[in-house]
Structure 1
Amino acid sequence: MLKKEEKLVIGSAGKNLPDVTTLDIEPEHNPDVLHDLHHVPWPFKDDQFKEITCHHVLEHLNDISDAKKELHRICHPQGTISIEVPHHSSWCAHSPYHKLFFSAFAFDGWCEGNYSWQRGAKFKMIKREISFHRAYRRYFLHKIFNRHLMAYERFWTYIFPAEHLKVVLQPIK
């Protein structure tokens, strides 16, 4: 069991999470740490957290390059970073508060073994999944599309829109 000091939830949205460290930009959410992610470095030690959850936060940033570096810096080498963002085809992706859009392959450039112009911090992709509205899950389409992500993104993404992209990453240090 991890201690509170080893688990971080970024963007707690006011949820009462007593067994984790919470970070949020909104004071009314009563986070443990009040911080704007656009300002680096983030107020944590190197390799501090073994489990980081970033749930519907990255789409609100102007640029995720600094977030990538900071997530890599504050995550323990054997730690994991769970990220969930709206898929670009989702109705909720196009909120006026969202500045970035994500396909199923949005985090490939962060990961080892993938050609990318992105340099610096690298991660190992532990898991990647796009999730769908329950109507599509009823017909097992989510299983087919997750097995064939490239075909989904090229041919089916706007016919059967996804809701979310979920990835689990581990820093390579």
Structure 2
Amino acid sequence: MQTLFRYNWQVREEWYQWCEELPEEELVKTRIGGVGGILQTLVHIVDVELSWVRDMEGKPDIRLDFTEYNTLQKIREVDARFRPEVESFIVAWNEGLERRILREDRLDGQVTQHRWGEVMRHVAAHEIHHIGQLSIWSRELGRKPVSPNLVRRGLDTYLPGTE
């Protein structure tokens, strides 16, 4: 689990760096697909990750609204502010948490239950999905996207013969 989150954080940081080279109007431009544009997608990624982790921790949700976090600098700052909280949850992850149940009271009045392991995999996959959208928009802008490769990032801490 930790590998996927560390991967997402590395790739996210590379997207932040990629964004530094674009004019502001391209970063905020509404695009087809996704949740709006490039910056709106980045704040959405941070918001979803934080929301699910806080739900599992039993903490109140903090909605990251794009009207407030509408620049690359503000998104990086809010990400840096809450990353330690998310990271401590991820680092403490263990097999015993996989089957814990998260109760979700939905706005339509329904109650659903999810296992924590499923939620964690959803959060990791959610970011990867949006990274794909950023890659498409990158190509539309005639720019090379951030590499989505997980290998060669130094994330796998297990190597045979080192245990």
Higher helix share: 2
Answer yes or no: same fold by TM over 0.5: no
| Higher RCO (C-alpha 8 Å, min separation 6) | 2
Q: Structure 2 length as normaliser, TM-score?
A: 0.29
Q: Structure 1 length as normaliser, TM-score?
A: 0.27
Higher strand share: 1
